[in-house]
A and B are shown apart, each in its own frame.
Chain A
Amino acid sequence: MGDEISRRTFLKLGATTGAAAAMGFGEKSPDKLIPYVKPPENVKPTAVTIYATTCRECPAGCGLHVTHRNGRVNVVAGNPDHPVNRGGLCPRGHSAVQGLYDPDRLKKVLHRERGGAAKEATWDEAIKAIAARLKEKKGKLWVISDLQTGALAEVLESFSKAFGGEKVIYFEPFNYEAVRAGNLAVFGRAELPDYNLEKCRMIVSFASDFLENGPSPVQASWQFAEARKIRDGQAARFVYVGPRLSMTAANADEFLKVPPGAERWVALAMVKEIIDRGWAKRDISAVRPAVEAFLKASATPSPSGEGGPSGPGEGLRPVIAKLAKQFVEAGTVVALAGPVGATGTTTTETAVAAALLNYATGNVGRIVDFGQPHALGRTATAAELQEVLGRIGSNDMVFVNQANPVYARNDAAEALRRAGMVVYLGTMPDETADVATWVLPVDSPLESWGEFEPTPYVNCLVQSAMTRIYETRGAGDVLMALAKEAGKPLVGERQKGGFEAWVRSRIVQLMNGGEERMLGISEDMYWRESLRRGVYWGEPAPETQEARELDKLKFTPLAAPATTAGTLEFWAWAGTMLHDGRVANRSWLQENPDPTSMVVWGNTVDLHPATARALGVAAGDVVALDPVGVVMRGKLIPVEAPVRVTEDVAEGVAALGFGQGHTALGRNAAGRGANAFRLLREAVGSATFCILVIRKTGRREAPVYTTTTQEQSEREILQWTTLAKLVKMKPGEGDALRLPLPEGYDPQRDMYKARLHQYKEHRWAMVIDLHRCIGCGACAVACYAENNLAVVGEKKVRQGREMAWLRVVPYRREGEAGRMGFLPMLCQQCDAAPCEAVCPVFASVHSDEGLNAQVYNRCIGTRYCSNNCPYKVRRFNWGNVDWAKPLAEQLNPDVTVRTRGVMEKCTFCIQRIRAAEIKAKLAGRAVAEGEIKPACAQSCPTRVFTFGDLLDPKSEVSKLTGGRAGLPGDLRRYHVLEDLNTKPAVTYLRRIIIGDEA
């Protein structure tokens, strides 16, 4: 590659061209055109280049395709050839670009004398000062980092070794240590195995919200959807046991609401049933005495099947007998244990019980694969961290790389303040940066080189997709420069070309020893192929693991009300948007609602109505949560949030989501909501998290919702069916749909004498499979990214002025508590569109391809269209958006940025339709089926959306809807508000309840 233009230069040049050729919109068109001096091959102004890289927003390691245009990155999408995410992406993955362009990002090196304010410094000063201190060797060296593998892990470890540090501490707030501890107890391996959920025929989750928080949420999502797909009249049944109706729980066919900690009671009761009835395929009888002792000691059931704080009721016993029977009969099954963030013995015991169930049914080595343990198994446990933080002395140096222990741990701030020098390498001015002596701004993952290996055999490459925007450096390069300056350069040979060369040399090593041998191919070609693919992987057969020493297992009895009057059990949960809170400054994730509560820009303390009544608190009261029985050290920030009263949580529980309550991090995160991590501690007694009391503060504050009701008021917007019903249906049965086609016109029903629209080439339509929709909201965030949707902020959302073109509404099934479904609602592109008829200026018009076009430059903002829209999918711009610099750089140049006074709505991603049409036209062919993917469809981890042409009888949408004459259509098809005769182009497929009841 020697004589070619270097990658950096290319990106740099691209950046200058980009700045002129397509500047951010909402600003005036540029009046200067700046071409390349020497153009890189095949790069055209505004043309898209895709870079394959790896998402580093959490340790899942999903593959990314980054859209690069004019020197900057706009939109990210999943890499369809990646084994982890298979083209899907979660909301946090989409927000990676907002992380890159975060207006609050660290831009300069900062130095802070002890107790003083931070001052700007130069890189040279920082390197010199830190290296000098390294040379002094006064105290110990500690290296704390977020989870890293591969090249950066090598750098971190050799750096730590070179300066006498102990092993690197990989810190992740969610490290699944309870599951690891459970596996250690049962199998002797403290690891997080890989789960092949897609092969399951039944899944039971014991408070594991695997669809929301992983360890690999996108992978779990597509696997879950595959397992739930109906094949030969069968599909995997999913039962959730836990105290809170989480998004994962809402996807269950059956949600067993039990008090916190009672998940293990259910799991162990199942274990006993399996042993008693001789159903176990692998011998676990050694555990019987312990299980019996546990069940006996725990037998203090409350008569209420609801289960108050006193434990699950006797009424659960027949349910458990049936559950165990179904579980065994299904054969290929899995039990998963949770929740995340809990580290105590209670959660470990749940994990032990789940491991026993998997082992007893013979699924270890089939569904549970110990051959591919997750890299998260390398993260430090809470106890290890506590020990390390306790040992940090006043002469010690602490390096913190892209981790935020001060936010997620109560003891970290004090420990770091005690240290002699804290060097923080990160992208955001977070809580840990606030206590650091040196704050070194590092590249965002989209600007970095690196690699990540979520599981063995999956080698993901992280490549820089654009030139850096600030004076940042790669974390690897910084450490290498420090080591060199301090006189102990790391591994000589690899130091030469910087960190990028280090990554490259490791990738090339794979060529010689890895799974994928590329003999006869030059190193350069292999490297380029790696850059193109972004990932190499192998798929070894699952590895089994024998259980051992089952007779030594012990279980702590389920406590009788640990809670006396007035005390509650704390339940923390992690949602799809904010996860562990590191992404909390990204406005898309704050403005897009939590899937089940629809709360935005904050969090709430969820209480059961009975509990709230007993405590005398009402919805909207701001309460403080104070842990009981813990000696608190240091100054603690109170955990205060408004109350939300809901039957989605068990009685006697106060539930709070992770991710908010930052004291730093930036304008969107700091000072917002309550930090659930503050209440985490070594579990008290048998509590999963802790026992707390609620203190009324006297203040009131209404949480902000984007959807004020989840009730359907008999309109049957979201519809369910059952597998039993479906199996009995014959092909062609189901709803007769009035499709937006000439066949859909009926003079008896339609107002106009003749059909208004004639489509010549295409009639775009969409099918949304509600059975596959898990509610994660990735589609909505992808829409924000692709279509330049404005983020309006808390105040305006409260006024109902959010701009989401697509919303995922959690609707309840009437008359059935705990049954929730998710319905992505976007413009239905109706044939007889109510919006079009009422626009006085023809800004809302029907397009030649059937879309309800909204012409921004015609719109005068009467809002008649929105008033007349029965689906309420139109959004009005109440003000101009001030894109905080450099957020405007993210804007997609293919889509107009709307201004104040203009109505806007979903366009089915018309820019993508046009691009595909033009591409086809230039090639002299028709647009191929599946060629066009709107952002929502592309992003969806579970493949809910099918997009295509209704005029083409062979298209997938025609097949699913029945389309043109003769096609049977999917049995579950229906239109939302079909009786209005709008003839929508979006057809929904009903959600299916799998199982005998319902």
Chain B
Amino acid sequence: MTERAGQPESGGGPRWYRQAVVELGFLTAAVLAAMVLSYYYYYPSEAGVVQPLPFSHRFHAGEKKIGCLLCHADAQDSPRAGVPPLETCMLCHKRIIVNYPKIEQLTKYYNENRPVAWQRVNAVPEFVYFDHSVHLHKGFDCGRCHGDVSSMDRVVPRPVITMGFCVDCHRAEGASHDCYMCHR
């Protein structure tokens, strides 16, 4: 160290250059910070698993205000909400941003009659039998169990669905909390 301290302006270049490097460093840091902050601004929850096609619930349900049941129609009259068939995507994307690469990929899947294997986000254990239709019939909002999907690009399971979560609600709503309600 002492040896090096004795050598002025070693390995640096001109002063303006060094200043520019520092300034650029700060600028990069600021941009990065801004990006990180804006990420949390736009995506208040953490991001969920990466899907084979980057579908954004925030954009479709939030920005464009598309109702849940347009795509998850089965929720109304069957136990499972279901994942929409590619045909549903193509309802709009036959016309909208057809040249966007990811949409081109989607169109390709559709034309080749190849299904997309989405990563599962919400699940209950296999000894639990949940039925979407009765809960919707009772008038519950999807958000009660699925959180604010319209703010999530990649959906995360929030709130975390545990037996306690189910039973609390059943109690509060005066619904039966008989074991055979969900376990069989």
Please give the residue numbers on chain A whose beta carbons come within 8 Å of chain B beta carbons, in ascending order: 13, 16-17, 20-21, 25, 28-39, 44-47, 845, 847-849, 851, 853, 855-858, 894-897, 907, 910-911, 914, 918, 921-922
Contacts and interface: CB of A to CB of B under 8 A. Distances in A.
A845 B180 CA distance: 10
Contact of A896 (B115, B116, B117, B184): B184
Contact of A857 (B82, B134, B176, B183): B183
8 shortest interchain CB distances as A-B pairs: A36-B85, A35-B83, A44-B78, A848-B178, A896-B127, A39-B85, A32-B117, A855-B179
Contacts of B63: none
A922 B85 contact: no
A35 B113 CA distance: 11
A20 B123 CA distance: 13
**Residue among A20, A33, A47, A911 facing the most chain B CB atoms (10 A cut-off):** A33
Interface string B125-149: 1110101011001000000000000
B161 to A, nearest CB: 13
21 contacts: A21-B80, A30-B120, A32-B117, A33-B83, A33-B120, A34-B115, A34-B116, A34-B118, A35-B86, A35-B115, A39-B85, A44-B78, A46-B78, A47-B74, A47-B78, A849-B180, A853-B183, A911-B129, A914-B180, A914-B181, A922-B137
A625 to B, nearest CB: 48
A765 B97 CA distance: 60
A895 B184 contact: yes
Contacts of B80: 21, 44-46
Contacts of B67: none
A911 B133 contact: no
Contact of B180 (A16, A851, A918): A851
Interface of B: 74, 77-80, 82-87, 109-110, 113-120, 123, 125-127, 129, 131, 133-134, 137, 176, 178-181, 183-184
Contact of A38 (B113, B116, B137, B176): B113
B84 A35 contact: yes
A855 B179 CA distance: 7
B129 A914 contact: yes
Contacts of B119: 31-33
A911 B110 CA distance: 36
Contact of A853 (B84, B118, B180): B180
Q: Which of A28, A858, A910 has the most CB of B within 10 A?
A: A910
B90 to A, nearest CB: 9
A37 B133 contact: no
A896 B183 contact: yes
Contacts of A36: 85-87, 115
B127 to A, nearest CB: 4
Contacts of A855: 179, 183
Secondary structure call for the B interface? loop
Given A32-B119, A44-B74, A38 B184 contact: no
Contacts of A28: 126
Contacts of A29: 120, 123, 125-126
Contact of A37 (B113, B120, B176): B113
Contacts of A34: 83, 115-118
Contact of A856 (B87, B109, B183): B183
A35 B87 CA distance: 10
B179 A845 contact: yes
Nearest to B163: A857
A479 B85 CA distance: 39
B137 to A, nearest CB: 5
B183 A38 contact: no
B89 to A, nearest CB: 10
B184 A39 contact: no
A853 B82 contact: no
Contacts of B116: 34-35
Give the most central of B127, B131, B180: most A CB within 10 Å. B180
Contacts of B178: 847-849, 853
Contacts of B117: 20, 32-34
A527 to B, nearest CB: 26
